A and B are shown apart, each in its own frame.
Chain A
């Protein structure tokens, strides 16, 4: 099972994305977002990125999603929508699940999936070969490179986040 762990985690990832894309109330969307964040962390960790996975848990789930959860709890309505409460939501959820199940069966049965581009079966998702150089971990080197060669990226993304806050404050301020 461990060779297929990334595949299983990706399937759970997609299913939880379907879960919040079918638009139940934001509280339930946040719930499946927690699941998808945790599963995404698992996927990254299986490729050797332990630091980035912990970043997902700490910053994304522990910071941003907590704030999102609190603001949604303040703005929630009396009878929030669940996946089974509204026919539309349930229909979209089941449709997404059905498509995912059919895709998984297609991937498992045939050698290649040639829908948009070619997957060679489950081969890319299995863990036994990750193409590492063995001496140093690529992912920590990547983080180090972000702060040395990638200083411009840090500046641009930092500015984008700052302007994001300005924009949100400006939009919600009203007249």
Chain B
């Protein structure tokens, strides 16, 4: 793509999300979502093969439907409250429709079907933008309307997302689909605590973005999109292999690593609000996630499967320069001791 056009379109994606996050008028938020959607389509279609076109079309259709539902909720809200400012949405119907629209944008169950297919059809870098940057805008709106969200609907969607994210990722060998299912599960964790303590949603979003960025950059560095090709990284860069182990375990939420922090805080917040069965279920279903991360680490860092000698080599492309990889790796694994600092967020 022409570099000037590519820069313009990338800046428009950023501008769209910024408009969504900064606006106080519902119509501007909708315009921001549409600008974001329009500008990310050529980024998803960077390589011109039928798979990327199909993936971009699927993404466009689902997100456009979600924008339409959002507009309908905005107009119902206008009809009942007479004003366009972002406050809590007073009308229950508008609130439910808006929650469903934002859930479609995030990829929560039962609207999660587009996430694995779209993520699989596009290149790794585009998948990275899709799974991290595109989650910021809907989550910011959910944060702003959080006092008025219907708890039953949101918690149902969250728990089902954790289940689907864990269960659906079990049979996958393609790395992008694994990351997509991991995204669905993490979105479920984030929205589960939204009504109780929205700050923890933002904390989880921050740590999730760091870990997903790290994982994708490790995949880009080793140019691998399947488990099989990832299992050959020990031959190319053994250090990356170790870091894949650490980051994957952090994504699974294991204690000495920073991925444990949001899960711990969320479970603590939920039990403070006297719901015990729910966090227990959520923690048990997070084990499914951990299982397929462990399977990735098993085949990548922990064992070398018997194979013939010429199968062990990977194509040696010129090393891609990955920005910020070391800080990201450090941040996505070693942040847990900083947990007492969370009190500054109040």
Contacts and interface: CB of A to CB of B under 8 A. Distances in A.
A117 B94 CA distance: 10
Interface in A151-167: 152-153, 156-157, 159-160, 163-164, 166-167
A163 B28 contact: no
Contact of A116 (B12, B34, B93): B93
Interface in B23-74: 27-28, 31-32, 34-35, 38-39, 41-42, 45, 48
A163 B35 contact: yes
Nearest to A163: B12
A116 B76 CA distance: 10
B5 interface: yes
A167 B28 contact: no
B341 interface: no
B38 A164 contact: yes
Interface class of chain A by DSSP? helix
B62 to A, nearest CB: 18
B50 to A, nearest CB: 12
A174 B48 CA distance: 6
Candidate in A116, A163, A171 with the most chain B CB atoms within 10 angstroms = A163
Contacts of A166: 5, 8-9
B287 interface: no
B57 to A, nearest CB: 10
B334 interface: no
B243 to A, nearest CB: 35
B28 A156 contact: yes
Report the interface size class on chain A: 10 to 19
A112 B34 CA distance: 35
B137 to A, nearest CB: 15
A11 B28 CA distance: 30
Contacts of A116: 76, 93
Given A117-B79, A170-B5, A175 B48 contact: yes
Interface in A11-61: none
Interface string B86-104: 0000010100000000000
B8 to A, nearest CB: 6
B42 A156 contact: no
State the main secondary structure of chain B at its contact with A. helix
A138 B31 CA distance: 23
Contacts of A175: 48
Contacts of A159: 12, 15, 35
B76 A117 contact: yes
A171 B41 contact: yes
B39 A167 contact: yes
B309 to A, nearest CB: 37
B93 A167 contact: no
A94 to B, nearest CB: 24
Given A116-B93, A163-B9, A171 B31 contact: no
Given A164-B38, A170-B42, A156 B8 contact: no
B207 interface: no
A43 to B, nearest CB: 15
B19 interface: yes
A18 B311 CA distance: 58
B38 A167 contact: yes
B12 A117 contact: no
A170 B9 CA distance: 10
A160 B28 contact: no
Interface string B4-15: 010011001001
A148 to B, nearest CB: 16
Interface in A97-145: 116-117
Nearest to B16: A160
Contacts of A174: 48
B35 A160 contact: yes
A156 B93 contact: no
Closest 6 pairs between A and B when the two form their complex, measured CB to CB: A170-B42, A163-B12, A175-B48, A160-B35, A167-B42, A167-B38
18 contacts: A117-B76, A117-B93, A153-B27, A156-B19, A156-B28, A159-B35, A160-B35, A163-B9, A163-B12, A163-B38, A164-B38, A166-B5, A166-B8, A166-B9, A167-B9, A170-B5, A171-B41, A174-B48
